[in-house]
């Protein structure tokens, strides 16, 4: 029952203007830390929730500007009959064209019938809920959902703590599992009477002096209260409010004492069972308190793998486990643009799904550098670690992730995927093999300029040609350490056609040995540094420290790469 | 409660033929009270009075109002087009009803177009469990089209009796029961228990009327000699017919609180009123348009020199034995100071009004006349309406008399007509009313349907004035 078709938020916290058409299943919001993910969940919760009042403050207004009212509109589709009743909501029924994404003010044959709910807050901070339609506005009519409909629509929110839903409170998921009700008021009243009887006249002894004064005064004033006033327990003061009945385990311990993760998992599972009544579930930081395997169970318990989706979930996450577990169309990137916030679904294409499985972290960052191979990834990481040791901010801290394209052919498929989702994206590639020129030109134009080693060069060519002599010697020493003298020597001999031996390379660094080593290092079988770990070590221990003494052309490329990385901070 | 003859809740699509007095309303009330689903049943009928009457019956049967929504066909049409103006695309002015003659047809047409386009099918199904349309024989072609297209979205059952279709006239062609109604909805049965007569302990009379209905349906002749004793034939001799009819108008009800309906010639309203004024205790049934009141309001002007003349003549229109000419002459004499006799109550009120005309004064004149010895009000709804109209104008500045008259008319339209002990009217005015005795003064000028409607008004006795014992069609 009832799924959100369109969300429209104005002037709410960090969201100046945000229009979003979520999917009818799981919508997991990802994006950088201050992108407004939680504000979107809050907005949905505030607009759809069944609270009689809410307290707003100036801080809830975008940029603290209280002159621009907060307005949260939610258009609901898949309405049940009572929400489509002409008798109750006739003047507010509208239609939604899913294909065009457009709302029309009146129902239309062949289109979905929808209702638009709005929560507005002006500078008086009073929340006002109304149903929206142009024709009712023209007629000066206003109304909102009936209380029973509001309660039915109320979404379940699983925040940091799930204890509210582990008791029979208004709107809690337990009340939506069935129509059963526990009749408590009679028992409570009886308990209050018994308490009064049990308490008896204990107070009379403890308060005898006061009672004496009251009795005397009353007599003096001619007020008839009998011979002596009594101090009894006021039955009305023994009050029990909502949430009186809560879930307990076998030993009688309240379930709100469960660990955070277990409580959240249980509530999510219950929500799945209540899906017929309440379809919308909101989960902040879905990974909170859950190990990866329990996190996966939570996602599956809310129907992440089911078609059609039983629940419409609005989730936020910073966990690669969640990104990897969900499908690309269940992930939405939320991003702040110049003209307000935008939401983009990660996608439905197979290559996106593959990238998602391999590099979930990249989707949680703000900048992505697509590297042609593992050695580029290692080099950049190594140099970054060297710079960090020297006091620079690490690239992870500015939200940059490196992605291994595993070859020239995948470079732009991955790069374009990230770029189209609004990630700050760039490419670092070898030049021994060129990608399709047209594709590269289009991409370069969009991002400014890409990074590549000089003409015809692979990374190994650049390193052995550009590093100062002692750094070249150090690279060779590291290769020997990794692969042994025998193998490295054989590679050198083979690369030089038997003209140069390992010993010669160790002795002196000449243009010939540089060329030979560059070739020897990149053999098909057992290349010396073609792994992230190996090249990361080279970058940190050798290239980074030697960068200042490097050939200017190579140094310029590396410096441009780090300038781009540092730019992510802005 | 015994099982109903036909269970309306079981009908997906069907028309029920319901002869007069055979428990149609009870059938509807019963179905509504058995209905237990969450969505209400939409019940449509023709007139506001019909809605008021049905609501009264349902309230008496203690049917929870959440189980149904009751409206007129036109009211419902207005609701849906005003609710979805863009889809309907009508000219908004038609909803103001400034010219009802063209606005109502435009409203009906717009509603049918809106429904036929299918825009509301989903919403209708979500809102109502099913549809009942009462008095279906009174549907015009466009109303039938409305019910038909609603029937595509909702399970629907229409109820009516082609033999009671008497509201067809030029420009308002009614549905044909076989060619339109049965063809669209299919027959879901015919009621055959004459409850009205059975409940009065006169079941044989009821069955005879059902047989008479069949005869009339086939345009046959009714033989009064073979009728049960409840049917009294009063022979007209062609010379003293009016005197005979007046005597028949005095027919007593067989029970203490019984009511008598007198059916006169539908084409001659003046004659109906003459019978009402000449029959002690009788009142005239009034048409919902209250034409005489509206005409009087239109012509009456406090400042006009003839104001008192108009007022007194209006009094003579609604009360018997007023003697307007004598009264006016006396007032003239009195005002000139030439009268020897003291003025009566009536004359004093009239003089006061003539000296200082006011709405309250006009009301006082009418009240004094109605209390005068020998005076009897034979058109109480019109007199009451006039008092209310004067009162409204006296207490609201700027309200014109005509507007007040229209207000009064619209109120009475909604309230419906309470039945007097002895009422004179036509089939058009008396349809839907029930009494113990029905007197038919001019059966020979009536067609089969009018005659059938008239014959079925009385539950205990039927008196027919005719110059022969067989009513030929």
Contact A113 B123 (CB under 8 A): yes
**Complex prediction ipTM:** 0.76
A551 and A466 Cβ atoms separated by less than 8 Å = yes
Which tokens belong to A276?
Answer: 């017929």
Contact A87 B124 (CB under 8 A): no
Contact B127 A87 (CB under 8 A): yes
Tens-digit pLDDT profile for residues A131-168: 999 999 988 889 999 988 988 888 888 876 666 777 77
Spell out which residues of chain B touch residue A79, defining contact as CB-CB under 8 Å: 126
pLDDT at A84: 95
Q: Which of B85, B118, B122 sits opposite A84 (nearest CB)?
A: B122
Q: Which helix (H) or strand (E) segment is A532 a member of?
A: helix A532-538
Q: Which of B38, B39, B120 sits opposite A107 (nearest CB)?
A: B120
Give how far A128 is from chain B: nearest CA, Å. Answer: 24
Q: Nearest residue of A to residue B123 by CA position?
A: A84
pLDDT at B471: 85
Q: Nearest residue of B to residue A109 by CA position?
A: B119
pLDDT at A257: 75
Q: Which of B38, B69, B119 sits opposite A108 (nearest CB)?
A: B119
pLDDT-derived band at B1, boundaries 50, 70, 90: very low
Residues 260-319 of B with CB under 8 A from A: none
Strands A112-121 and A70-77: antiparallel
Per-residue pLDDT of chain A in tens (570 residues, 90 and over written 9): 799 999 999 999 999 999 999 999 999 999 877 778 999 999 999 999 887 778 899 999 998 999 999 999 999 999 999 999 999 999 999 999 999 999 999 999 999 999 999 999 999 999 999 999 999 998 888 999 998 898 888 888 887 666 677 777 777 778 777 777 777 777 777 777 787 778 777 777 888 888 888 888 888 887 887 777 888 777 666 666 555 677 888 888 877 777 788 888 888 888 888 777 778 999 999 998 889 999 999 999 999 999 999 999 999 999 999 999 999 999 999 988 778 888 999 987 767 888 888 899 999 998 999 999 999 999 999 999 999 999 999 998 888 999 999 999 889 999 998 998 889 999 999 999 999 999 999 999 999 899 999 999 999 999 999 999 999 999 999 999 999 999 999 999 999 999 999 999 999 999 999 999 999 999 888 899 999 999 999 999 999 999 999 999 999 999 999 999 998 865
Interface test with A, best of B41, B66, B81, B84 (most A CBs within 10 A): B84
Q: Is the pLDDT of residue B312 over 80?
A: yes
Give how far A91 is from chain B: nearest CA, Å. Answer: 5
Q: Is the pLDDT of residue B2 over 60?
A: no
In SS3 terms, A74-110 reads as: EEEECCCHHHHCHHHHHHHCEEEECCCCEEECCCCCC
pLDDT at A236: 66
Spell out which residues of chain A touch residue B86, defining contact as CB-CB under 8 Å: 105-106, 135
Spell out which residues of chain A touch residue B85, defining contact as CB-CB under 8 Å: 106, 135
A62 and A15 Cβ atoms separated by less than 8 Å = yes
Give how far A279 is from chain B: nearest CA, Å. Answer: 19
By the 10 Å C-beta count (0-12 exposed, 13-18 middle, 19+ buried), B32 is classed as buried
pLDDT at B473: 65
Q: Is the pLDDT of residue B294 over 80?
A: yes
pLDDT at B66: 92
Residues 85-144 of B with CB under 8 A from A: 85-87, 117-127
Interface test with A, best of B43, B68, B83 (most A CBs within 10 A): B83
Residues 36-55 of B with CB under 8 A from A: 38-40
DSSP state of A53: -
Our measurement of the distance from residue B324's CA atom to the centroid of its chain's CA atoms, rounded to an integer in Å, reads 31
Residue B21 vs residues A66, B157, B384: alpha-carbon distances, Å: 69, 19, 31
Tens-digit pLDDT profile for residues B148-167: 999 999 999 999 999 999 88
Which tokens belong to A289?
Answer: 């308190």
Tens-digit pLDDT profile for residues B47-92: 887 888 889 889 998 999 999 999 999 999 999 999 999 999 999 9
Spell out which residues of chain A touch residue B122, defining contact as CB-CB under 8 Å: 84, 107, 113
Contact B119 A107 (CB under 8 A): yes
Partner A contacted by B14 (CB < 8 A): no
Which tokens belong to A22?
Answer: 């979520």
pLDDT at A178: 79
In SS3 terms, chain B reads as: CCCCCCCHHHCCEEEEECCCCCCHHHHHHHHHHHCCCCCCEEEEECCHHHHHHHHHHHHHCCCCHHHEEEEEHHHHHHHHHHHCHHHHCCCHHHHHCCCHHHHHHHHHHHHHHHHHCCCCHHHHHHHCCCEEECCHHHCEHHHHHHHHHHHHHCCEEEEECHHHCCCCECCECECCHHHHHHHHHCEEEECCCCHHHHHCCCHHHHHHHHHHHHHHHCCCCEEHHHCCCCEEEEECCCCCHHHHHHHHCCCCCCCCCCCEEEECCCCCHHHHHHHHHHCCCCEECCCCCCHHHHHHHHHCCCCCCCHHHHHHHHHHHHEECCCHHHHHHHHHHHHCCCCCCCCCHHHHHHHHHHHCCCHHHHHHHHHHHHHCCCCEECCHHHHHHHHHHHHHHHHCCCCCHHHHHHHHHHHHHHHCCCCCCEEEECHHHHCCCCEEEEEECCHHHCCHHHHHHHHCCEEEEEEEEECCCEECC
pTM for this entry? 0.80
A184 and A240 Cβ atoms separated by less than 8 Å = yes
């Amino acid at each position: 029952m009832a799924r959100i078709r369109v969300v429209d938020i104005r002037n709410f916290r960090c969201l100046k203007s945000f229009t979003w058409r979520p999917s009818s299943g799981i919508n997991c919001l990802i994006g950088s830390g201050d992108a407004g993910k939680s504000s979107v969940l809050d907005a949905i919760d505030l607009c759809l929730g069944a609270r009689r009042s809410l307290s707003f403050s100036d801080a809830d207004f975008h940029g603290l500007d209280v002159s621009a009212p907060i307005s949260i509109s939610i258009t609901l589709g898949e309405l049940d009959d009572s929400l489509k009743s002409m008798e109750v909501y006739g003047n507010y029924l509208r239609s939604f064209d899913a294909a065009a994404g457009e709302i029309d003010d009146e129902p239309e044959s062949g289109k979905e019938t929808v209702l638009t709910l709005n929560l507005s807050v002006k500078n008086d901070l009073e929340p006002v809920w109304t149903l929206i339609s142009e024709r009712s506005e023209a007629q000066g009519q206003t109304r909102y959902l009936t209380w029973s409909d509001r309660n039915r629509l109320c979404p379940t929110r699983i925040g940091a703590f799930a204890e509210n839903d582990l008791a029979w409170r208004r709107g809690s998921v337990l009340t939506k599992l069935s129509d059963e009700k526990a009749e408590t008021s009679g028992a409570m009243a009886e308990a209050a009477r018994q308490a009064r009887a049990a308490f008896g006249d204990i107070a009379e002894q403890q308060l005898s002096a006061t009672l004496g004064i009251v009795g005397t005064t009353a007599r003096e004033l001619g007020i008839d209260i009998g011979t002596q006033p009594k101090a009894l327990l006021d039955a009305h003061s023994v009050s029990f409010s909502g949430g009186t009945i809560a879930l307990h385990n076998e030993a009688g311990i309240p379930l709100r004492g469960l660990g955070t993760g277990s409580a959240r998992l249980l509530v999510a599972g219950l929500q799945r069972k209540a899906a017929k009544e309440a379809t919308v579930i909101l989960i902040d930081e879905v990974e909170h308190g859950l190990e990866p395997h329990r996190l996966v169970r939570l996602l599956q318990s809310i129907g992440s793998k089911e078609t059609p989706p039983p629940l419409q979930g609005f989730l936020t996450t910073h966990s690669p486990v969640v990104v990897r577990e969900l499908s690309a169309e269940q992930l939405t990137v939320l991003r702040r643009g110049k003209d307000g916030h935008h939401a983009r679904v990660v996608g439905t294409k197979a290559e996106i799904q593959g990238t998602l499985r391999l590099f979930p972290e990249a989707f949680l960052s703000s900048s992505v550098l697509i590297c042609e191979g593992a050695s580029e990834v290692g080099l950049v990481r190594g140099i970054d670690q060297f710079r960090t040791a020297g006091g620079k901010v690490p690239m992870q801290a500015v939200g940059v992730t490196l992605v291994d394209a595993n070859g020239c052919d995948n470079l732009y498929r991955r790069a374009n995927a990230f770029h189209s989702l609004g990630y700050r994206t760039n490419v670092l590639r070898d030049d021994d093999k060129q990608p399709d020129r047209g594709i590269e030109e289009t991409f370069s134009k969009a991002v400014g300029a890409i990074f590549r080693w000089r003409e015809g060069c692979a990374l190994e060519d650049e390193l052995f040609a550009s590093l100062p002599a002692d750094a070249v010697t150090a690279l060779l020493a590291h290769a020997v350490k990794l692969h042994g003298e025998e193998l490295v020597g054989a590679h050198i001999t083979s690369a030089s056609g038997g003209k140069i031996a390992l010993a010669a390379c160790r002795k002196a660094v000449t243009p010939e040995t540089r060329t030979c080593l560059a070739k020897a290092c990149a053999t098909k079988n057992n290349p010396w540094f073609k792994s992230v770990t190996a090249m990361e070590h080279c970058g940190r221990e050798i290239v980074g420290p030697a960068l200042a003494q490097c050939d200017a052309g190579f140094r310029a490329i590396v410096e441009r790469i780090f300038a781009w990385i540092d730019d992510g901070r802005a | 409660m015994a099982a109903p003859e036909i269970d309306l809740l079981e009908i997906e699509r069907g028309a029920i033929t319901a002869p007069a007095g055979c428990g149609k309303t009870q059938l509807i009330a019963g179905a509504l009270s058995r209905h237990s689903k969450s969505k209400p049943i939409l019940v449509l009928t023709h007139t506001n009075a019909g809605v008021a009457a049905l609501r009264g019956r349902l309230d008496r049967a203690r049917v929870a109002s959440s189980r149904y929504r009751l409206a007129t066909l036109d009211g419902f049409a207005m609701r849906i087009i005003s609710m979805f103006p863009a889809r309907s695309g009508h000219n908004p002015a038609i909803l103001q009803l400034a010219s009802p003659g063209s606005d109502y047809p435009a409203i009906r047409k717009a509603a049918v177009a809106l429904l036929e386009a299918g825009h509301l099918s989903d919403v209708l199904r979500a809102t109502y469990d099913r549809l009942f349309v009462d008095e279906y024989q009174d549907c015009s072609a466009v109303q039938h089209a409305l019910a038909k297209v609603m029937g595509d979205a909702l399970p629907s059952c229409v109820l009516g009796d082609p033999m009671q279709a008497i509201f067809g006239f030029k420009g308002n062609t009614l549905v044909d029961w076989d060619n339109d109604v049965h063809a669209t909805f299919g027959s879901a049965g015919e009621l055959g228990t004459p409850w009205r007569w059975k409940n009065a302990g006169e079941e044989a009379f009821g069955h005879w009327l059902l047989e008479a209905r069949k005869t009339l349906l086939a345009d046959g002749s009714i033989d009064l000699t073979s009728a049960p004793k409840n049917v009294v034939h009063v022979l007209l001799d062609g010379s003293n017919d009016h005197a005979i009819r007046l005597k028949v108008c005095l027919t007593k009800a067989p029970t203490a609180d019984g009511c008598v309906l007198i059916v006169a010639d539908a084409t001659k309203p003046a004659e109906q009123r003459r019978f009402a004024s000449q029959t002690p205790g009788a009142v005239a049934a009034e048409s919902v348009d209250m034409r005489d009141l509206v005409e009087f309001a239109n012509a009456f002007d406090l400042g006009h020199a003839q104001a008192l003349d108009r007022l007194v003549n209006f009094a003579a229109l609604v009360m018997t034995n007023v003697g307007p000419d004598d009264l006016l002459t006396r007032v003239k004499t009195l005002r000139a100071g030439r009268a020897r006799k003291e003025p009566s109550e009536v004359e004093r009120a009239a003089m006061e009004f003539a000296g200082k005309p006011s709405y309250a004064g006009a009301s006082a004149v009418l009240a004094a006349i109605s209390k005068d010895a020998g005076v009897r009000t034979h058109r109480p709804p019109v007199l009451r309406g006039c008092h209310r109209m004067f009162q409204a104008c006296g207490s609201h500045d700027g309200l014109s008399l005509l507007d007040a008259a229209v207000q009064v008319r619209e109120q009475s339209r909604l309230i419906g007509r309470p039945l007097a002990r002895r009422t004179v009217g036509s089939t058009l005015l008396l349809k839907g009313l029930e009494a113990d005795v029905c007197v038919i003064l001019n059966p020979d000028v009536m067609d089969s349907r009018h005659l059938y409607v008239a014959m079925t008004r009385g539950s205990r006795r039927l008196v027919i004035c005719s110059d022969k014992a067989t009513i030929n069609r």
